[in-house]
Structure 1
Amino acid sequence: MPTRVLGRTGERVSVVGLGGFHVGMQKDPQESIRIIRMALDHGVNFLDNCWDYNDGESERRMGVALQDGYRQKAFLMTKLDGRTRQSAAEQLDQSLKRLRTDVIDLVQIHEVIRGSDPARVFGPDGMMEALFAAKQAGKLRYIGFTGHKDPAYMVAMLKAGFEHGFTFDTVQMPLNPMDAHYKSFEKDVLPVLVEHDIGVLGMKPLASGILLESGLVSAPECLRYAMSLPTSVVITGCDTAGVLEQALHTAYTFEPLRKEEKETLLARTAPAGRSGQYEPFKNTERFDGTEKNPKWLTTAEL
């Protein structure tokens, strides 16, 4: 499994990461555990998760999977929704308990999808106070944030950090062949991350399979495209062992896209990509968990 350096943290992570949402969907919890352990056994060490995924079930199943020596194989990440110091601290403690670990390698602010998020997170009694305290207490090692709505919100979050004398360790965002044409994270956020040596976590390489509905791209093409960018890891959802095997094969055989290949792929996806129809997370609330459940921003109740 090829590995890359996670920004200035110096950590080495697998080029492909296992998405947390999709490993909490199986009817049989044992199938979830099998997929997680299969990924770890085949060199995938980056595990994604979130406090709210599947009402906490994704973290619970991952916590079971990480027993029997598997925790040592994993670079474990989860995300929190709480925007207040108290709600974030309570959510973190719940995540630690579900994941059955004393420390989470990376904790990220989930869904920076509003213009108000930077001021709220960095404000008095805001989420950052909880994350800084947790890091000092040894509950987490690194701090990052995620977003999928608008690159401008993410640039504002990075700027807020700089203004407070803080540089995030990681940023997680959509990177795929359609993104380049509409509200592009690749064009507007990626250069800032590279400039400041912030770990780049690519997500939604297939947009939960929606990109494939266009008939313009294949799953290996989408994964290879994101891996060819200056990403540390490309996180992809794997709800079956077969889907995981496809991601593993793409990683094992990975060769960066040549300039001509990338230009051809972007030209092919441009007409459909410009409309944003295959990236509904940017222009609808379909993927906005905290918009549908605003209480998650201020409480630790699912």
Structure 2
Amino acid sequence: MYGRRDVLRASAALGLLAATSPWLQAAASPGLLTRKVPSSGEALPVIGAGTSGSFEVAPDSAEYQQLKVVLKAFFDGGGKVIDTSPNYGGADSVLGQLLEEGGWHRQCFIATKIAADSRADAQAQWAGSLKSLRTDKVDLLQIHNLRDWQTQLPYARELKQQGKTRYVGITHYLNSGHDEVASIVRREPLDFIQINYSVNAPQAARELLPLCQDKGIAVLINRAFDDGRLFAKVKGQALPAWAAQAGIGSWAQLFLKFAISHPAVTTVIPATGRPERQLDQLKAGHEPLLSQAQQQALIQQFA
């Protein structure tokens, strides 16, 4: 547990870092690529952020103070979409406090979730989410991993009608959930889905992503790094020879650019609690995108 003196020391150090560090001063140049939400035409930056793990910190900790620098880099670099959930170990509460302290609520497209097994539980959870996020509405409300979706999706639509959320959607994070997600996409009107897609798990591109294009549904991508396992696979390896020509300077940028190179993808949402990684990730959101040949080469490499 950090004491007040530790927190103040960390805040001062991070403030100095933000003022003097070359990589923070050189925040990602403006002009992140954007994709339109089909149901509204709203343009969203292709690089977003997640909160699972990275935002599960104590508000009085040095890690919390560092997240302030992360979010400043994110918003200054053109980021907007942040995805969270009420069952991410208090991450939504940390996000809400950070947005309030930084004055970033208006800049943020907040995507959160319902993860409940009954309507009553969902109503209580939703009230808690608004309190944690320190807002009276969100931009996107998703049914988490299809949990009790037959009950929760109609409830989310009611909240949309009440102006409590602008969009509704569903999520999953495993290949095993793709068939059910596709079945729901075919039958139900949705604004968004969220699904896993990466160089070593490209199955969503076979049917689900084209289906979303046909149905006019926006797509958030999770697990673009396979929960960090991809970095272990490439440790010590050089980037492909063509990476520099594609504007890629790190494996993280390559993995993210792979995801956003599919035209059905709206935004990818990697999580990080480190400012330098946040800036590196934002650099993936600029042209050029990967060619079909480059995407296929990566799929073959990581198969």
TM tier, smaller:
0.7 to 0.9
State the Cα deviation string for residues 83-125 of structure 1 (Å, max 9, x = none).
Answer: 321111211111111101111000001113xxxx5xx422xxx
Does residue 74 (structure 1) correspond to residue 108 (structure 2)? The answer is yes
Other structure's SS at 1:205 match: coil
Does residue 121 (structure 1) correspond to residue 149 (structure 2)? The answer is yes
* Bigger CA radius of gyration: 2
Equivalent residue in structure 1 for 2:80, among 45, 50, 56: 45
Q: Distance in 2 between matches of 1:259 and 1:121?
A: 35
Other structure's SS at 1:236 match: coil
Aligned to 1:220: 253
Normalising by the residue count of structure 2, what TM-score does the alignment of the two structures yield?
Answer: 0.77
Other structure's SS at 1:77 match: strand
Aligned to 2:28: none
> Where in structure 2 are the equivalents of 1:74-223 lying within 5 Å?
74-112=108-146, 120-122=148-150, 126-149=151-174, 150=176, 151-159=178-186, 162=187, 166-180=188-202, 184-215=203-234, 218-223=251-256
Q: Distance in 1 between matches of 2:126 and 2:72?
A: 24
Are the equivalent residues in 1 in contact too, given 2:182–2:208 (CA < 8 A)? yes
Are the equivalent residues in 2 in contact too, given 1:174–1:202 (CA < 8 A)? yes
Q: Distance in 2 between matches of 1:168 and 1:84?
A: 21
Q: Distance in 2 between matches of 1:203 and 1:254?
A: 21
Q: Distance in 1 between matches of 2:54 and 2:69?
A: 10
Aligned to 2:51: 20
How many residues end up aligned between the 2 structures? 250
State the Cα deviation string for residues 103-159 of structure 1 (Å, max 9, x = none).
Answer: 1000001113xxxx5xx422xxx2123212222222111100110222112112224
> Where in structure 2 are the equivalents of 1:266-285 lying within 5 Å?
266-270=299-303
Q: Distance in 2 between matches of 1:258 and 1:175?
A: 17
Aligned in 2, Cα 1:174/1:212: closer, same or farther, shift over 3 Å? same
Q: Distance in 2 between matches of 1:93 and 1:22?
A: 23
Shift of 1:258: 1.7
Other structure's SS at 2:195 match: strand
Q: Distance in 2 between matches of 1:89 and 1:34?
A: 34
RMSD (Å), alpha carbons: 1.8
Normalising by the residue count of structure 1, what TM-score does the alignment of the two structures yield?
Answer: 0.78
Are the equivalent residues in 2 in contact too, given 1:33–1:61 (CA < 8 A)? no
Shift of 1:52: 0.7
Shift of 1:241: 0.7
Aligned to 2:244: none
Are the equivalent residues in 1 in contact too, given 2:73–2:279 (CA < 8 A)? no
Shift of 1:263: 2.4
Q: Distance in 1 between matches of 2:38 and 2:205?
A: 16
Other structure's SS at 2:129 match: helix
Shift of 1:46: 0.6
Other structure's SS at 2:44 match: strand
Q: Distance in 2 between matches of 1:25 and 1:97?
A: 17
Aligned to 1:63: 96
Q: What is the percent sequence identity of the aligned residues?
A: 24
Aligned to 2:6: none
Are the equivalent residues in 1 in contact too, given 2:114–2:152 (CA < 8 A)? no
Q: Distance in 2 between matches of 1:130 and 1:33?
A: 34
Unaligned runs of 5+ in 2: 1-31, 240-250
Are the equivalent residues in 1 in contact too, given 2:84–2:113 (CA < 8 A)? yes
Q: Distance in 2 between matches of 1:196 and 1:178?
A: 26
Are the equivalent residues in 1 in contact too, given 2:66–2:273 (CA < 8 A)? no
Q: Distance in 2 between matches of 1:121 and 1:22?
A: 25
Are the equivalent residues in 2 in contact too, given 1:23–1:35 (CA < 8 A)? no
Equivalent residue in structure 2 for 1:241, among 275, 289, 298: 275
Unaligned runs of 5+ in 1: 271-302
Q: Distance in 1 between matches of 2:110 and 2:78?
A: 14
